[in-house]
Structure 1
């Protein structure tokens, strides 16, 4: 899961450098996808800490 986040982060960085626009639909979409993965990881970490 962490490697997916890293890959998405790199893709987002590249896409932003191409578009130079944080409000570009593709940039926003990829950013939201990355956010979802981050939230899943955080949730799993919180559950693990409770055990």
Structure 2
């Protein structure tokens, strides 16, 4: 899943450079997709920490 996040992050940077607008619809959409993956990873990490405690 981390590789997906890295690829999405790279795509987001490229898309931003192409559109030159953080509020462009495509940039916002990709950013939101990236956020969803990041939240899943953080949730899994927190779950592991709680289980270890």
Tell me how far 1:33 sits from its aligned partner: 0.2
RMSD: 0.3
Aligned to 1:18: 18
Tell me how far 1:22 sits from its aligned partner: 0.3
* Structure number with bigger Rg: 2
In the alignment, structure 1 segments of 5+ residues that lack a partner are none
Q: Give the TM-score of the pair, scaled to structure 1.
A: 0.99
Q: Report the count of equivalent residues.
A: 51
